[in-house]
Chains A and B, each alone.
Chain A
Amino acid sequence: MVESNKLNEGDVLLDLQDIDMSFGKVEALVGISLQIRKGEIHSVIGPNGAGKTVMMNCINGLYRPQKGNVVYKGQRINHLRPYQRASLGISRTFQKVEVFGGMTVLDNIRLGRHIHMKSGITSGSIYVGKTATEEAEHRQFIEEEIIDLLEIESIRSKSTGMLPYGLQKRVELGRALALEPELLILDEPLAGLNLEEVEDMARFILDINEEKRWKVTCLLVEHDMGVVMDLSDRVFVLNFGNMIMDGTPAEVQQNPEVVKAYLGEEDLYASRK
């Protein structure tokens, strides 16, 4: 694991430098540059097929861009595999929930914690000393910081696959948090949720970002403009692999090009506040 150097709030955490990514003749991303600063909620919006998920996959290492640099905490990480990037503190959820349906909620979350397990195979097999203490600590973290935060006490020992979609999304978020990430990529966390679930999820995102315990930088891909405009510090607009603009929510709402390309009618992004 690469030793992480401490960043202050407002320093650049992730820097995408001139990223190109194409699949055959389809150019998914063209010369994308984006800077995410520590402590902010940075949203990426754009019509379907704009390349948002491709961009996320480039960041977390599922895809390797053909050109450009992915720089995380001042270090070029293009060559690192997803699990290596995870150990650096990059965690994510998926557009279509990717939980382990046959496992319980608790096991799904514990899995995200695996990266922090230090004890070896020998002490693990006899389960004394280090392993036992370590497990107690991890249990405490999961219960106090994640299950309590996400209010999933009543389902902790249920099989994840049997849960409604909205709760599965929560479990996935829980698993991503178990990693104790510094950068959390949320790929459409609100898609397919009902109004109440959207409100809950928006609150969790704010909590994760603002609560002293967490202070996680969030990269949010989302279609729900009301929520995006309310939550985000900055918004990045993508269209057919090209950046249209990157600015504050207010700037984005006033940009005629953005409105034309994506937002369309004005009341689409009416604030929910």
Chain B
Amino acid sequence: MHHENNNDSSKIEISKELTIPKLFYQQAANFGKDRVAMREKEFGIWRPISWQDYLDNVKYIALGLISLGLEEGDKVSMIGDNRPEGLWAEMATLCARGVGVWLFQDCLIDEVRYIIDHSDTRFLFGEGQEEVDKAISIFNECPKLQKIIWDDPKGMRNYDEDYLISLKEVQQLGRELEKEKPDFFEELINKGHGEEVALLFYTSGTTALPKGALLSHNNMLTMGQHLMTVDPCQGTDDYVSYLPFAWIGEQMMSISCGLQIGYTINFPEEPETAQENIREIGPHVMFAPPRMYEQMTRSVQVKYLDATWIKRKFYEFSTYAGYKVANLKFDKKPVPFYWRFLEWLSSVTVQKKLKDHLGLSRVRNAYTGGAAMGPDHFRFFHALGVNLKQIYGQTEVAGISVVHRSGDIKFDTVGHPIPGTEVKISEDGEILTRSSSVFLGYYKNPEATESTLQDGWLYSGDKGFIDDDGHLVVFDRTKDVFTLKDGKPFAPQYLETRLKFSPYIKDSWVIGDKKDYITAVLCIDYAVVGKWADENKINYTSYPELSQMPEIYDLVGKQIRQANKDLPDVAKVVKFTNLYKELDADDDELTRTRKLRRAFVEKRYEEIVGALYSENDSVNIDTTIKYEDGREAHIKTVMQIRTVGD
């Protein structure tokens, strides 16, 4: 295992006394006005926020919260897009000795109610009108909730509920309190202890109601340090924060790592402009769930299909060389000079441009985690020269515990444990982790805590094993492993990610546990397939209609045959159908981090599963779907069932 100690982060010693606010205060004093803590694109311009501004804003929000009556250990929830105010609110909560809770921006009202109520939240930071509306609609059902704080005035002119208060007013209260007690903020910070609860994070839960994991300051800080020991970051680095703060990976990058090393956190203008903004910034480090990388792959593939003949030839040449070299490196074989030359050539002609368009031109380390990612995607990025690594982690370890090392990448593994982390496999194959980042327990759920935390070991619920090279192999959720017809175990994610390598397929759901053969339910990518249909002069009006067209079935069938290649016969997809809608977290089919909730969809689409294992060639659907604002729509349609063939 290789360690590098020449980075800034190792200078910070994480004692039991150190808290996130203490470190924050120290760093802000250290970097002051001259260093950019964060940047936000606003009104078309990137605007820098210095560490001093960061400190001032946090200070007045924290004091304002105290003025409003925040007491030690009170929960403060936050909901909204990634923006400086969100991070300020979180940091202010910690400075004021509260506990931070983040909600996913697109949470439905029921989820918001559950989390606010379960966490005993007293103060809620919402971004603007949309979040405030959600909060108002649940206010009466959450008796502990006292104030709702908003920062974007747009559309807020007619709101006069007395429990609403703007961020500016909160900061004003903070200023007034500071006049009364000038050193109060520093005193508050100094009171903190590293083992106190900092964050209460709700796990997305593929199986049940979300559980609230309690994370201490120490959990968070050691996480960042351990990760950066493996892959050092620099203070001059740029990082783009655009994934939900409610996702632990984003916390790890923005708080655990960002604070220690002091790199610049960049916030996109709007969620829709994130991709464009990433390109403008060109981050040095990136951590995203597989769907982001899948999206990038898809956009390259689509652009390729659209390109002129000469461009396509160049691209084909460059990927050929890229793949060849990447494969040699994966096999840890020497790369002959002529391949090196061709790789250089392809890098100059194609890859550099391509990486620039994807915002990857400066990336030193790109991580993916949170769900399985297929070897095809992995190869794709390494062939481009992007150092993509798989991680394994969970909310309960405040981020990650295992990661690939540069130059030692295996597609089917997640790499070695990071420093300070022990990983072992229990007798029945469960992955256990022990480190200083393992969480304190679940909030108000002693049974779950007891079964998850035993003698300091975290029982992950994931199955896996450690291979001959010491890499951890994760089998995914224990419940998700299939038994094939020939009795062999099989991870459906493997096939699902393979199917998703096709640009036409957005989501896939593979069925076949203890069944005679494997089947798949697929969601087409509306934009890509729609374009394909336009080019082939196929008329359609909507997603349900397009998805059920015979031509589309032919197209998707071709993609499946491609994915079926090189697989043993029992693991091949035999029958499939195109779902009439996209899988959606609002319908509980996916978690908020877009993991498939297998048990749920199996129940919800019972008829479809039944039809896939019958002689029928179609199935009638009669169902309702839910919109984010609570409205419902009724859908009646017929889905075709196809056999893949050879």
Q: Which residues of A contact B272 (CB under 8 A)?
A: 153-154
Query: Nearest residue in A to B273 (C-beta to C-beta)?
Result: A154
Contacts of A211 in B (CB 8 A): 157
Task: Select which of B43, B157, B273 is within 8 A of A212 by beta carbon.
Answer: B157
Majority secondary structure, A binding face = helix
**Cβ–Cβ contact A154 & B276, under 8 A:** yes
Report how far A211 CA is from B270 CA in the complex, Å.
22
B377: min CB distance to chain A, Å:
26
Any A CB within 8 A of the CB of B44: yes
Q: Does A107 contact B (CB under 8 A)?
A: no
Q: Do A153 and B269 form a contact, CB below 8 Å, given A144-B43, A147-B44?
A: yes
Chain B, residue nearest A139 (CB):
B44
| B157 near A143: Cβ-Cβ < 8 Å | no
Interface check A156, CB cutoff 8 A: yes
Q: Are A143 and B43 in contact (CB under 8 A)?
A: yes
Chain A 129-161 against B: per-residue CB contact (8 Å), 1 yes, 0 no? 000000000011001100111010110100000
Complex contact A140–B273 (CB within 8 A): no
Interface: B645 (CB within 8 A): no
- Specify the chain B residue showing the minimal Cβ separation from A154: B272
Q: Which of B43, B155, B158 contacts A147 (CB 8 A)?
A: B43
Inter-chain contacts of A148 with B (CB < 8 A): 43, 154
Interface residue? A81 (CB, 8 A): no
Chain B residue contacts of A203, Cβ below 8 A: 155
> B44, B158, B272: which has the most chain A beta carbons within 10 Å?
B44
B residues near A151, Cβ cutoff 8 Å: 270
Docked-complex contact B44 and A210, CB < 8 angstroms: no
Q: Is A153 a contact partner of B155 (Cβ separation < 8 A)?
A: no
Within 8 Å CB of B276, what residues of A? 154
How far is B96's CA from A257's CA once the two chains are assembled, in angstroms? 65
- Note all chain A residues with C-beta closer than 8 A to B45: 143
How would residues 153 to 193 of chain A score, 1 for a CB under 8 Å from any chain B CB and 0 otherwise?
A: 11010000000000000000000000000000000000000
Is the pair A207, B155 in contact by a Cβ cutoff of 8 Å? Answer: yes
Which residue of the partner chain, among A140, A153, A210, contacts B157 with CB atoms under 8 Å? A210
Query: Given the complex of chains A and B, what is the CA–CA distance between A122 and B515 in angstroms?
Result: 81
A149 to B158 CA separation, bound complex (whole angstroms)? 17
| Residue in A closest to B274 when the chains form the complex, CB atoms | A154
**B251-288 contact mask (Cβ, 8 Å, vs A): 1 or 0:** 00000000000000000011011001000000000000
Q: Are A154 and B44 in contact (CB under 8 A)?
A: no
| A203, B156: Cα distance in complex, Å | 12
B357 to A: closest C-beta gap in Å: 15
Per the bound structure, the CA–CA distance linking A149 and B273 in Å amounts to 16
Q: Known interface pairs A153-B269, A153-B270. Does A143 touch B155 (Cβ–Cβ under 8 Å)?
A: no
What residues on B are CB-neighbors of A139 within 8 Å? 44
A212 contacts which chain B residues (CB < 8 A)? 157
A42 to B443, CA, bound (A): 55
B445–chain A nearest beta-carbon distance, Å:
38
Scoring A139, A151, A153, A212 by chain B CB atoms within 10 A of each residue's CB, the highest score goes to A153
Contacts of A207 in B (CB 8 A): 154-155
B556 shortest CB reach to chain A, Å: 26
Given A203-B155, A212-B157, A140–B270 Cβ distance below 8 Å?
A: no
Name the A residues within 8 Å of B44 (CB-CB): 139, 143, 147, 153, 156
Nearest opposing residue in chain B for A199, CB measure: B629
Q: Which residue of B lies closest to A145 (CB)?
A: B43
Interface positions of B from 142 to 166, Cβ below 8 Å from A: 154-155, 157-158
Please give the distance in Å from A153's CB to the nearest CB on chain B: 5
- Chain B residues contacting A149 (CB-CB under 8 Å) are 154
- Chain B residues, CB < 8 A from A153: 44, 269-270, 272-273
- For B269, the chain A residues whose CB sits under 8 A away are 153-154
Q: CA of A210 to CA of B269 in the docked complex: distance in angstroms?
A: 25
CA distance A156 to B270 in the complex (A): 12
CB contacts (< 8 Å) of B155 on chain A: these are 203, 207
**Proximity string of chain B (36-56) to chain A, C-beta cutoff 8 Å, 1 when within and 0 when not:** 000000011100000000000
Bound CA–CA A211/B155 (angstroms): 8
Measured between beta carbons, the chain A residues less than 8 angstroms from B154 are: 148-149, 207
Which A residues are in CB contact (< 8 Å) with B157?
210-212
Q: Which residue of A lies closest to B45 (CB)?
A: A143
B472–chain A nearest beta-carbon distance, Å: 40
Please report the C-alpha to C-alpha distance between residue A144 and residue B270 in the assembled complex, in whole angstroms: 14
User: Which B-chain residue is minimally distant from A151 (CB atoms)?
Assistant: B270
> Whole-angstrom distance between the alpha carbons of A31 and B154 in the complex?
42
Instruction: Give chain A nearest CB distance to B242 CB in angstroms.
Output: 13
List A residues 32-51 near B (Cβ within 8 Å). none
Min CB gap A106→B, angstroms:
9
- Contact digits for A92-122, partner B, Cβ 8 Å, 1 yes 0 no: 0000000000000000000000000000000
Q: How far is the CA of A237 from the CA of B189 in the complex (A)?
A: 66
Bitwise, B150-185 to A at CB < 8 A (1) or not (0) is 000011011000000000000000000000000000
- Complex Cα–Cα for A144 and B43 (A): 6
Chain A residues closer than 8 Å to B273, beta-carbon distance: 153-154
**Once bound together, how far apart are the Cα atoms of A203 and B154, in whole Å?**
11
* Residues of chain A lying within 8 A (CB to CB) of residue B270: 151, 153-154
List residues 191-216 of chain A with CB under 8 A from any CB of chain B. Answer: 203, 207, 210-212
Neighbouring B residues of A147 by C-beta, 8 Å: 43-44
8 pairs across A/B with beta carbons < 8 Å?
A153-B44, A153-B269, A153-B273, A154-B272, A154-B273, A156-B44, A203-B155, A212-B157
Residues of B within 8 A of A (CB): 43-45, 154-155, 157-158, 269-270, 272-273, 276
Given A210-B158, A211-B157, 11 more pairs with CB closer than 8 A:
A140-B43, A143-B43, A144-B43, A147-B43, A148-B154, A153-B272, A153-B273, A154-B270, A156-B44, A203-B155, A212-B157
- Top 5 nearest A-B pairs by Cβ distance? A143-B43, A154-B272, A154-B273, A143-B44, A153-B270
